[in-house]
Chain A
Amino acid sequence: MRTGKRWIVQNRLDDVATALAPLPAGEPILDVDLGVELRLLQDIPFGHKFSLREIAAGEKVHKYGQVIGRATKPIRAGEHVHVHNLESLRGRGDLQRFADGVREGKA
């Protein structure tokens, strides 16, 4: 874990970093050790995430070195990652109901 700067990557396997301050669009994000070099494409609110790399729609997204969900659309490096482009894979009764409907020929 690296602290004491304006953003944090919690595990080397992570696809996202967390802003430790409000970060403006255009801010350069550099970390030689992690091989990260990008500019933020959007303002990132305090505590929110931005992508460290290009992520394809449907790809799993990692934080803490673990899966935190799936990209619902392509995400560019430096883009804000939140509910608009990342969804949970767990506790999804809505998907279950859809699947049940398909089986029963209702969907």
Chain B
Amino acid sequence: MQILGYRRRDGRVGVRNHVLVLPVSYEVNAIAEHITRAVPEAVTFRNQHGLNQSGADLVQTRRVYEGFATHPNVYAVLLLAWGNEPHDLKGLVEQARRAGKQAELIALETVGGVRGAVREGVRIVRRWTEERAAVERVEVPLSSVILGTECGGSDACSGISGNPTVGVVSDLLVEQGGTSILAETTELIGAEHLLADRAATPEVGQRILHIVRRVEENAMKMGVDIRGAQPSPGNMDGGITTIEEKSLGCIYKGGTTPIREVVEYAERPTEKGLVIMDTPGHDIEQITGMVAGGAQVVIFTTGRGTPTGSPIAPCIKVATNSFTFRNMRDNMDFNAGDIIDGQATVEQMGMRLFALMLEVLNGKQTKAERLGHREFGIYRVGQSL
């Protein structure tokens, strides 16, 4: 099956053609905002991090920057820096250029401060937003698509309607040679044995059990039980009682195919098919990790109606019940609640959602995109120093 996408010089396929202003630390958020206010066709986000990090935590943050700067949905990237961040910023520009992007770096201290950075940034970004029209959508195989799956604000319907519907989409995409990411390791607790049984190799099975044990042990080391956060108060209002119950509903998103690989947070899968990424349940950190890992599109089921999106990837919002679809109609793209209402089967809704995903890949804007939902958050694995 073919879709219409942007073929990049590194062979990857984009479904959007964004000009991204990437602030590599919190020092320059205001500059990114000034630039995108002047050139609203460009996208940016607020970054809380980028300084006073070390070790594995710094490496992981860097991996997110690399994932965004080289992402196939990005046509051009402007790296904004204060100048003293602990990153090889010139190297990051080179990486983006090797991936076929227009890429520039503005370090605050080299342009006389904020005004100079904004003036220079607006000039560059405005030029890119004009030039990008020259790149046109062409026929590309659906197998080049990586889908990030996510459930946030789950309710008891998530495991009956929304997540099984996404599972059908995941299976259809994998059948076409594409890749689907299942994540949220916290929300695999209690269901990991079912996933390990579906691992393509014994090593993958061991790795699944390992990442779940690690997140569970980390929670237990704090001497608390995770019930304060998992399930969340919203989950509980929605009828979910325990993390096991939440997880068993959560894993439906992965469909029924074998699990080919387990990747680290923000790491790009090397295998096609269904893969697991080790992320937290935190919605924004998860979506950021999957997109940095190369996901060009995200399908996000929600029982309580969370509105969030991503700066560079379309996020399709799926309501798990009709109340939420109606109450959050500004934000919801799809109502899987028809299953709860007895109006459609999971298979029928899965086919419809797959068709919607194809439209979105071909350029149809999602609600989150139209409303400017561009949330960004990096999963930290070390303390700020």
Contacts and interface: CB of A to CB of B under 8 A. Distances in A.
Do A and B pair up? The answer is yes
Interface of A: 1, 3-5, 8, 10, 18-20, 45-49, 63-64, 66-69, 81-83, 86-97
B241 A81 contact: yes
B209 to A, nearest CB: 13
Given A63-B248, A90-B190, A18 B223 contact: no
Contacts of A3: 160, 339-340, 342, 345
Contacts of A66: 190-191, 194, 244, 248
Interface in B147-164: 155-157, 159-160
Contacts of B345: 3
A18 B249 CA distance: 13
B160 to A, nearest CB: 6
Contacts of A82: 236, 239, 241
A88 B219 CA distance: 14
Given A46-B239, A68-B190, A83-B236, A92 B225 contact: yes
Interface in B131-187: 155-157, 159-160
Contacts of A93: 219-226
B238 A47 contact: yes
Contacts of B156: 18, 47-49
A101 to B, nearest CB: 10
A47 B216 contact: no
B340 A91 contact: no
A91 B189 contact: yes
B85 interface: no
Given A82-B239, A94-B225, A96-B223, A47 B321 contact: yes
30 contacts: A3-B339, A5-B342, A10-B159, A20-B160, A46-B239, A47-B155, A48-B239, A64-B248, A66-B194, A66-B244, A67-B190, A68-B190, A69-B241, A69-B242, A81-B241, A82-B236, A82-B241, A83-B241, A87-B242, A88-B190, A88-B244, A91-B189, A91-B243, A94-B223, A94-B224, A94-B225, A95-B225, A96-B220, A96-B223, A97-B223
A47 B239 contact: yes
Interface residues of B, number: 38
A43 B162 CA distance: 25
Interface of B: 155-157, 159-160, 189-191, 194, 216, 219-227, 230, 236, 238-239, 241-245, 248-249, 303, 321, 323, 339-340, 342, 345-346
A10 B221 CA distance: 34
Contacts of B189: 90-91
Nearest to A86: B241
B160 A91 contact: no
Contacts of A89: 242, 244
B64 to A, nearest CB: 26
Q: Which residue of B221, B236, B340 has the most chain A CB atoms within 10 A of its CB atom?
A: B340
Contacts of B191: 66
Nearest to B189: A90
A66 B155 CA distance: 18
Contact of B225 (A4, A67, A83, A91): A91
Given A47-B155, A64-B249, A93-B220, A88 B342 contact: no
B235 to A, nearest CB: 10
Nearest to A64: B248
Contacts of A68: 190, 241-242, 244-245, 248
Contacts of B159: 10, 64
A7 to B, nearest CB: 11
The 5 A-B pairs of least Cβ separation, nearest first, read A4-B342, A47-B239, A47-B156, A93-B220, A88-B242
